[in-house]
Amino acid sequence: MAEQRQEQRDGRDDREGARTVGEAWGRGVREEEARAWEHLVATARRTVTDGLVVGTSGNVSVRVGDTVLVTPSGVPYDRLTPDDVTGVDLDGRQVLGTLVPTSELPMHLAVHRATDARAVVHTHAVHATAVSTLVPELPAVHYMSGALGGAVRVAPYATYGTEELAENMLHALADRTACLLQNHGTITYGDTLDQAFDRTAQLEWMCRLWLTASSVPGLTPSLLSPEQVAEAGEKLRGYGQPG
């Protein structure tokens, strides 16, 4: 009888710790997940307004505990609402929502399983994608390469949404927080959605910088050495306000 009362109390505690918003969520949604979803949607919309994706291309994910919230497939970001939350576990089983997760789920899950990432941003940014078709690695044209762990590699092409692409991406991400996907786009990760987005924006800016500098006839851009990039990366670790 005591065990039954304890189970009832535990069940009540679980319900009180979750916000139930309808059957479309699959299970009760915890407040932390609801907040994370709101931030995810805002980040996805920002990729559009900042010109990093067109339409529904690109995707975003954020990890809350063992649940990965992801943008759904083929839904314009400006139409996403709190009721559209889409979440999977680390094995890809859907645990929240009824909308189909992004087709690039294998890439997102690969990053979340292999790194300490809390957020992942994938885009089809124009300048970065252009660079991915030209070189196997973004030349170290600026010290912000250090903020991404070093020279940004290009993952060999594979069909989108495949495990092959996810594997190629992981190799390119070794000791890095960003890489280019050949003839495809970018992927970055970070401790937060803001950090992952900022790394995407910095990568696109560096690609635009290199394309601009290398297009001047008769001149070749000066590049930083691996040592210079590493030194800058170490200094950037303490950049910004403390705390």
**Could you give the residue numbers annotated as active site?**
104
Token couple for 136: 């196997």
Token couple for 146: 């250090």
How many residues in the chain? 243
Cβ atoms 62, 68 nearer than 8 A: yes
Cβ atoms 125, 204 nearer than 8 A: yes
| Burial letters 102-141, b for 16+ CB under 10 A, else e | bebbbbbbbbbeeeebbbbbbbbbbbbbebbeeeeebbbb
